[in-house]
Amino acid sequence: MEIKKSPKADLNNKRGLLLEIGLVVSLLLVIGAFSYTPEEKRIEKVDLQAPIVEEQIVEITRQDQKPPETPRKVEVKVIADLLQVVTNDTKITTEVDFTEFDEDVDVVQTVGVVEEEVVEDDQPFLIAETMPSFQGGDLNTFRAWVQQNVRFPQIALENGIQGRVVLSFVIEKDGRLTNIQVLQTPDRSLSEEAVRVLSKSPKWTPGKQRNQVVRVKYTLPVDFRVQN
């Protein structure tokens, strides 16, 4: 028995159309697939690094406190061995022979008489029969008096100046100490201090020659030293 299909129910008649539709749909899908561009996701970059803040660096310097300086010991010494009269019998001239002193130290000044200089015809003796005495003592007594009264000049101390000052002076017939002269000095401040002290010397007992009072000349070295 032959099975008869209704022409409406027979799909074979529509096969070509369905095939064409399928191809068209497939092509559209393929074209759409190729032309489709996915939307790029915008990723915001988050900077997790904290902002750099320039800090002003304050430099702290440590000032080391210097230990207090140990006071330096200063010493003014009147040389006992060199405190003496000149022992030659020649006449005193105005010229000074410096060969007995250090040649590398310049003579920077000559100090005039603190008191009015006594002008006499008789030249001072370099050695007398009876030498002058100071306050009932000898030259060591005068040396001790000078050492007790002299002061180390502050300006010389601050500048590290030290050394020996050599002076000469005359003991007059009335016992006054006059004619102070600086024969050698490393610095004016030292010689001025030595002259200051000698100018304040009390009167001496004058020297004598043949029972007559006479003028006598002395030389006096004074050392200014700083002991560390």
Rounded to an integer, what distance in angstroms lies between the CA atom of residue 156 and that of residue 163?
10
* pLDDT higher than threshold 50 for residue 214: yes
Identify the pLDDT of residue 84: 38
Beta strands in the chain (DSSP E): 73-78, 163-171, 177-184, 207-209, 212-214, 216-227
pLDDT: which is higher, 31 or 215: 215
In sequence order, the β-bridge partners of residue 209 are 212
Number of domains, the chain: 1
**What tokens were used for 58?**
């304050």
Residue 41 lies in a domain: no
Using DSSP, state whether 184 is helix, strand or coil. strand
Q: Using the 8-state DSSP alphabet, how is residue 214 labeled? A: E
Residue 211 lies in a domain: yes
User: In terms of Cα–Cα distance, which of 140, 152, 159 is closest to 194?
Assistant: 152
Residue 103 lies in a domain: yes
Burial class (CB within 10 angstroms; exposed 0-12, middle 13-18, buried 19+) of 35: exposed
Identify the pLDDT of residue 2: 55
Contact call for residues 87 and 127 (beta carbons, < 8 A): yes
Residue 142 lies in a domain: yes
Contact call for residues 172 and 132 (beta carbons, < 8 A): no
Residue 29 lies in a domain: no
* pLDDT higher than threshold 80 for residue 219: yes
Contact call for residues 38 and 184 (beta carbons, < 8 A): no
* pLDDT-based confidence at residue 93 (cuts at 50, 70, 90): very low
Identify the pLDDT of residue 217: 96
Residue 114 lies in a domain: yes
CATH code of 206's domain: 3.30.2420.10
Residue 192 lies in a domain: yes
Distance of CA 138 to the CA centre of its chain: 44
Identify the pLDDT of residue 129: 95
Residue 55 lies in a domain: no
pLDDT: which is higher, 223 or 11: 223
DSSP-derived secondary structure for 58-118: PP----PPPPPPPPPEEEEEE-TTT-B-----SPP-S----TTS-TTS--------SSPPP
Query: What are the pLDDT digits (tens) for 95-151?
Result: 223 233 343 434 334 444 444 454 455 899 999 999 999 999 988 899 999 999 999
H/E run at residue 141: helix 139-149
* pLDDT higher than threshold 50 for residue 46: no
Query: What are the pLDDT digits (tens) for 9-34?
Result: 556 666 777 778 888 888 888 787 77
Domain enclosing residue 174, as ranges: 73-227
Rounded to an integer, what distance in angstroms lies between the CA atom of residue 222 and that of residue 75?
10
Rounded to an integer, what distance in angstroms lies between the CA atom of residue 219 and that of residue 168?
4
